[in-house]
Amino acid sequence: MPTVRAAVILAVFLAVTLILIPVQWLGVTLGLPYRRGFPHVYHRFVAWLFGIHIHVIGAPVKNRGTLLLANHTGWMDIVIFSAVMPLCFIAKSEVARWPFFGTLARLQRTIFVARARRSETGAARDVIQDRLRQGDTLVLFPEGTSSDGNEVLPFKSALLGAAELGVVTVQPVSTAYTGIHGIPMGRENRPLFAWYGDMELVPHLWEALKAGPLDVVVEFHPPVTATDRKELARRAEAVVRQGQIRALAGMP
């Protein structure tokens, strides 16, 4: 039954996605207003289809450009965050070259950054600031990679220069994969859904769909400020780590 369930989900996902890609492509190409909200509607459907039950604590900052700093557990975070609210992502440049998923990232107006090239950090900062001035909500994963979902890795500050001037709203957000089939999840089961290390994306997607419905806690914390980007990274990391610890422990 898990294999049949996963096959049906994957077939519906591919069919719906291929139908909707031209719709979003037209919106992005022509700059149509719906291009911002359409991925949100799409990912709400994908979260429902995949059986991702999202429990939101707190509230995101609205009505102005906001930089969300979040821990990263894998590809499911894209579905989870985008299902919660309209937003875009900041991702490493390699994602743009991924077959199929790179296309989806571009259609969500993702900002691609070559993290290994310091010369491009300044240009990326300017693009991020410009998008925030336009009112976009951007998600940055400062860990620079994904984890197994049991801990928060150290936050890197390289791309936080856009927030140094204090004119950008920075809001930490913690995520925690807390349950499977409605039952609290132990740390040994979290890698069933966490995509990290040298895991292949497609096989992991298949195994995650077979594993069953997932419960996720997303907590929006109060915005933080700091005098420099390194201090901002430290403060956001501490807040996000505590939020994940509370969620994994089942604490309100």
- Taking only the tens place, the pLDDT of each residue in 98-129 is 999 999 999 999 999 886 666 666 677 888 88
State the pLDDT confidence band at 93, using cuts at 50, 70 and 90. confident
How far apart (Å, rounded) are the C-alpha atoms in residues 233 and 235? 6
Most confident of 35-39, 162-166, 200-204, 208-212: 35-39
* N- to C-terminal Cα separation, the chain: 34
Residues 6 or more apart whose CB falls under 8 angstroms from that of 185 comprise 177, 178, 179, 215
pLDDT at 92: 87
For 155-166, the pLDDT digits (tens) are 998 888 766 655
Task: Provide the token pair at 218.
Answer: 């997303």
What is the mean predicted confidence (pLDDT) over 198-226?
A: 90
Lowest mean per-residue pLDDT among 2-6, 15-19, 68-72:
2-6
Q: Give the mean pLDDT of 150-178.
A: 85
The proportion of the chain whose per-residue pLDDT surpasses 90, expressed as a percent, equals: 62
For the record, the structure tokens of 2 come out as 């898990």
Share of the chain above pLDDT 70, in %: 94
Return the pLDDT at 167. 67
Q: Is the pLDDT of residue 216 over 60?
A: yes
Tell me the C-alpha distance between 26 and 5, whole Å. 32
pTM: 0.92
How confident is the prediction for the chain on average, in pLDDT? 90
3-state secondary structure of 102: helix
> Quick one: pLDDT at residue 119?
60
Q: What is the pLDDT of residue 133?
A: 87
What single DSSP character describes residue 160? Answer: G
Domains of the chain: 2-248 (3.40.1130)
